[in-house]
Every structure is written in structure tokens, then in C-alpha cells.
Amino acid sequence: MSEASANLYAHLRQAFPDDLNATAIETDSGQFYTWRDLERGTAMLANFLHSLDLPAGSRIAVQVEKSVEALMLYLATLRAGFVFLPLNTAYQSAEIAYFIGNAEPVVVVCSAQNFSWVSTLAFKAGTRWVFTLNEDRTGSLLERAAHASDQHVVAVKKPDDVAVIIYTSGTTGRSKGAMLTHDNMLSNALVLKDFWGWRGPDQGGDVLIHALPIFHVHGLFVAIHGALINGSKMIWLTRFDPKVVLLHLPRATVFMGVPTLYVRLLAEPGLTKEVTRHMRLFISGSAPLLLDTFKAWQDRTGHTILERYGMSETIMLTSNPYSGERRGGTVGVPLPGVSLRVVDGQGREVAPGEIGDIQVKGPNVFAGYWRMTEKTAEEFTVDGFFKTGDVGRVDTDAYVTIVGRSKDLIISGGYNVYPAELESFINDLPGVAESAVVGVPHADFGEVGVAVVVARPGVQLEPGNILTELKARVANYKVPKQCHVVADLPRNAMGKVQKNLLRSQFS
Ligand code: MCA
Ligand code: AMP
């Protein structure tokens, strides 16, 4: 690819339909955005960012509610050649302080409601500009950008230039910023366009129901890049509500969700073969899709969910085929260009069907963790494979099954919850001697956290108070759904807490 053409935005823009007056996005509140609106809006925001005279490589950190303007800010950041840093809206001040302190963004965009505390900690960390952007299209960002020109030449980027930093905890310790390049994202989007048989505007067109948050890989990249690089319209839902999804299904062709979304849709009597008759493809990922959900979906709708597997560090890695067998309980086969192997404890590749650690390589694999050269090196093998931390097997016909994780991670409703982070918060609470957080099965979220806490001698701890304290400190979805105070934690001969025993005790 020539250097001038490596900016992801340029490729997305090229795929816009000829008729720029056609609808690109229709929202659940009845707004319509044309392709021209996207082109002009992103140009104005990109020009506004340029007007701030930001140094090359500046990070733009964004914690705002889902809106089409928030999407335009993402596209404008790409277009202007800066680095986008999306942040979950559930993050609270300690979490935001860490990300801002670590990434040192030059610009922070937040909701007006959070401006006071976000700007205080951002300015303290050296951020130059803090703007606001609200769900209802108000805020200082759009007020300022309203004066910018709507003509903008897309910034020239090299394939390996960083486009986005996504924070993830990987295997251990504090959150790490995974640096994804323009080419990581473009190559993955192009592969998925083919692999999932997206139909361009000249083939009848696809219509995607976008119901996911836009601060993680699934909603921001897989869904949005998928629709845009195909020139497809999106029906944009600000938040997931199964009844609203049902309302729009008859006019859509593609839906993407984490397993919880499918579980909640199945709970709706209105989910029928008739309502899904026009649908072409249901895709699931971010967490294991239970075979029961897979089969129930087939029975109720006649559609077979296509499950795929990915990570923040790699975007999409494997997928069940569009035309071939979609095998429930598996995540399908490695995508074209992705090398995937399963190795034993010594790093030797195991025979087909045997279980081991999953390692991957490909143009989609990230450029490393932000300012963590050593951590990055630890996560790669000498021959350049990335250690996913997932445990699984590959069958003789290349289908991959994930059977577990070597990293201590709970995936709850598609969000990652790191026990180590919660344990450190709990251990800091007065009267706590030690704690362990484990994941247990949950009908709605798939898996949820349970905290098991030991009190200091002579201290009486109230489980409810521990959860309340946590709620004040961390994102709501990370707060364990239960807390138990116990006399001691089970340990093995090496003194390591036996989380598997706690898991079976509290399941
Ligand atoms: C909300 N809560 C949760 C979760 N979401 N607790 C655990 N896990 C969650 N995922 C909390 C709420 O704060 C609330 O707490 C209580 O649970 C009930 O909330 P509810 O109203 O049911 O939640 P909701 O607002 O309806 O949200 C559920 C959701 C949402 C729609 C499933 O979690 C969601 O959008 N998940 C998708 C996440 C996602 O996009 N992941 C992709 C990551 P309280 O009662 O105390 O207030 S990208 C990725 O993983 C990789 C790369 C990949 O392969 O895609
Ligand atoms: P994240 O850190 O948010 O990028 O989460 C990536 C992790 O989500 C992967 O390492 C897997 O453990 C998990 N994951 C993603 N898709 C699937 C899937 N289809 N089945 C099981 N686990 C998945």
C-alpha cells in the first residue's frame, strides 16, 4: 500500500456510496445523517483539531455517551491523523485519572455533566484542552467546530502509524494501552468485508443495527468499520433495548452483539421467524456464546448465529464461516492472513485436538503497549507470535474452540473485569486482611464476579458495605454481584489462593 493511502479514514471515505445524499445513519430518536453529513462533519471536526496546533501523535481521549457526533469525533481524529483514545462511560475518577496520567492526552472530551472533575484531573496531568460533548449534540466541542471549514484534505499516514490506543489489562497488572495502527484496522476491516459477505450498495446493500457501546473494539471497529467500508447504512441505537431492536429488525440485515444481547432478545416473545425474515446475518463475540443460546436462536428464528473471536490487541482473529458450517461452541477458523497456533507450557505446538495456549500472528496484531516496551516483549514469542492468554484447541479441520483463559479475567456481559484490580481496591478498605474475586456463571451476563473477603482479627465486616465502597470507586459493571466474608481463603502448598475452589463454592 502506498504511504499516502494508509489513513483508515481515506479508505472508509472511498467506500461511501456515489449518492452522498443517501442516508448513512438513522438514529433511534428519529435523526437522519447522510453520507455527506459524515463527510462534512468529520471535516469540520478535523479542521478544528488542526486549529489547536496539536503536536504530531497527540492523543485525543474521549469519554462521552454514544451519539453520531461521538462517532464523527472518532472519524475526525483518524482523518486529522491524531490518536483516538476511547474510554468507557462507566469509568470513575480513579480509573480516568490513571488513563489520563498514563496516556497524557493533549485533548480530553467529556460530557458537560462530568466536566468539573474530569477537567480538574486532566489539567493537573498536563492536558491542554478539555471540551464537552453531550448526547443531545450540545457542548463546547461542536460549538467551537461550527466555525471550522467543511473542506479538509485527509492527513497522510503511514500503515504503521498509531491510530488508536485501547486500554486493556491483558494478563496482569495495571491497564495497558494497546496501540493499533491504521493498517491493523484497515486490513482487518477488509478481511471481514469479504469473510462475512457484506453486500455493497450495488448488491442490494446491508443495513446494520448498531446496538453496542462505541468505546470498545466490538462496537467501535468491528461494527462501524464493517458498515462504513461497505457503504452500508446503520440503524443507530443509543443503548441496547431488546424491544427497540425487534422494532428495527424487519428493516435490517446484519446484527452484532455480545452473548447477553442474544439472551435478552430470546426473552422477548416478539422474537420470531417472521420478525427476522429479512435478516442476513447475526454475529456474536466478545465472550463465549453458550450452546443453549446458539440452539435456542436457531429454533426461534431459523438463523444460525455466526460466532467470532478477537481481542483489543488483535481486533478479529477467527470466525465461523459465512457460507460453510457455523459450528456452535467454536469460534470458527483463523481469518485469512491470521496464523494461529496452540502451544504447550514449553512453547511447542501441540497436535490437533490437544489443549494449550493460543498464540497468533498477522497484520491485525497491534504495535505494542503504549510506553511499555518490556511488557510488550513479554507478550510476544521470539518468533513474533502474540500470547493471547486464551486456552483452547484447534481441530483437524481448523475450527478453534476456546476452553478457558490462563489470564485471571472475568468476562461479564462482554466487559472485562480484572480480579487483581478489584482485589487491590478491596484490600485497601479498612478492616480487610485479604480478598479474592472469582467469576461464577450467570444466566444474563454469562459470568459475574463474586468477592470473597477475610477480615482483620477482631473486625466485623459487612459484605453490603464492601460493595457500596467499591461502587463509589470503580465502574459499575466491575462491582461483584455478591460478597462473602470468610474466615480464610483456601491455599495450595505454594500458598497460592485456590480460586477454583472458591468458584465451585460460590457458583
Ligand atoms: C451493566 N452492568 C453490568 C454489566 N452491564 N454488570 C456486569 N456486567 C455487565 N456487562 C450493571 C449495571 O451497572 C447495573 O448495576 C446492573 O449491572 C444491571 O444493569 P443493566 O441495566 O442490566 O445493564 P445494561 O445497561 O442493560 O447493560 C447491559 C449490556 C451492557 C447491554 C449487556 O453491559 C453492554 O452493552 N455490554 C456490551 C459490552 C461490549 O460491547 N463489549 C465488547 C468489548 P446497578 O444495578 O448496580 O446500577 S470488545 C471485546 O471484548 C473484544 C475485542 C471482542 O472480541 O469483541
Ligand atoms: P478484550 O480484552 O476486551 O479485548 O477481550 C478479549 C478477550 O475476550 C479474549 O482474549 C477472549 O478471552 C474473549 N473473547 C472474545 N471473543 C470471544 C468468543 N467468541 N468466545 C470466547 N471468548 C471470547
Residue 173's pLDDT is 63
DSSP codes of every residue in 416-442: EE-HHHHHHHHHTSTTEEEEEEEEEEE
Nearest CA to ligand 2 atom 8: 286
Q: How many CB atoms lie within 10 A of CB 243?
A: 10
Residue closest via CA to ligand 2's atom 15 equals: 286
DSSP codes joined into one string, 460-500: ---HHHHHHHHHHHS-GGGS-SEEEEES---B-TTS-B-HH
Ligand 1 center to residue 54 CA distance, Å?
A: 35
CA distance linking residue 33 with residue 41, whole number of Å: 10
Task: Give the CATH fold of the 3-17+33-181 domain.
Answer: Rossmann fold (3.40.50)
Ligand 2 pocket test, candidate residues 256, 330, 400, 411, most atoms within 8 A of CB = 411
Best of 309, 365, 387, 391 to mutate for ligand 2, by most ligand atoms within 8 A of CB?
309
Ligand at shortest distance from the CA of 478: 1
358 close to ligand 2 (CB < 6 Angstrom): no
Query: Alpha-carbon distance 345 to 190, whole Å?
Result: 34
- The preferred substitution site among 286, 320, 400, 470 for testing ligand 1, maximizing ligand atoms within 8 Å of CB, is 286
Whether 469 has a pLDDT exceeding 60, the answer reads yes
> Which of 402, 408, 445 to mutate for ligand 2's pocket (most ligand atoms within 8 Å of CB)?
402
Q: Where are the domains of the chain?
A: 3-17+33-181, 187-358+390-404, 409-506
The residues, ordered by sequence, that sit 6+ positions from 418 with a Cβ below 8 Å of its Cβ are 169, 408, 409, 410
**Tens digits of residue pLDDT in 313-325:** 999 999 999 999 9
The ligand placed nearest to the CA atom of residue 328 is 2
Q: Which ligand is nearest to the CA of 221?
A: 1
Q: Whose CA is nearest to atom 33 of ligand 1?
A: 413
Evaluate whether 3-17+33-181 and 187-358+390-404 have a shared fold. Answer: yes
Residue 180 Cβ inside 6 Å of ligand 2? The answer reads no
Q: Is the pLDDT of residue 171 over 60?
A: no
Q: Which ligand is closest in space to the CA of residue 412? A: 1
Q: What is the pLDDT of residue 3?
A: 44
Q: What is the mean pLDDT of residues 260-286?
A: 98
Is 7's pLDDT higher than 70?
yes
User: By percentage, how much of the chain surpasses pLDDT 90?
Assistant: 96
Which ligand approaches the C-alpha of residue 388 most closely? 2
Q: What CATH number should be reported for the domain whose range is 409-506?
A: 3.30.300.30
Asked if pLDDT for residue 201 goes beyond 90, the answer is no
Rounded to the nearest angstrom, the distance between the alpha carbon of 188 and the centre of ligand 2 is 16
Residue 461, pLDDT above cutoff 70: yes
Asked if residues 471 and 483 have their Cβ atoms less than 8 Å apart, the reply is no
- Between 226-230, 308-312, 493-497, the lowest mean confidence (pLDDT) is in 493-497
pLDDT digits (tens, 9 = 90+) for 85-110: 999 999 999 999 999 999 999 999 99
Span from the CA of 210 to the centroid of ligand 1 (angstroms): 15
- pLDDT classification of 202: cutoffs 50, 70, 90: confident
Report, as an integer, the average pLDDT of 147-158: 97
Q: How much distance in Å is there from the Cα of 284 to the middle of ligand 2?
A: 11
Using the mean position of ligand 1's atoms as its centre, give its distance from the Cα of residue 414 in Å.
Answer: 7
For the whole model, what pTM was predicted? 0.97
**pLDDT of amino acid 2:** 44
Mean of pLDDT values over 287-294: 98
d(CA 108, CA 85): 9
Nearest ligand (C-alpha, residue 309)? 2
4 exposed, middle or buried (CB, 10 Å; 0-12, 13-18, 19+)?
exposed
Which residues are paired to 234 by β-bridges?
A: 25, 208
Q: What is the band of 172 on the pLDDT scale with cuts at 50, 70, 90?
A: low
Cα(443) to centroid(ligand 1), Å: 13
Any atom of ligand 2 within 6 Å of the Cβ of 390: yes
Class of domain 187-358+390-404: alpha beta
Q: Which numbered atom of ligand 2 lies nearest the CA of 415? A: 3
**What pLDDT digit, counting tens, does each position of 57-86 carry?**
999 999 999 999 999 999 999 999 999 999
Strand, helix or coil at 446? Answer: strand
Give the integer Cα–Cα distance in Å for 107 and 119: 10
- Is any atom of ligand 2 closer than 6 Å to the C-beta of 309? yes
Residue 170's pLDDT band, with cuts at 50, 70 and 90, is low
- Pocket around ligand 1 at a 6 A CB cut-off: 212-213, 216-219, 240, 258, 260, 285-286, 310-312, 412-415, 445, 448, 476-477
Could you tell me the distance, in angstroms and rounded to a whole number, from the CA of residue 41 to the centre of ligand 1? 30
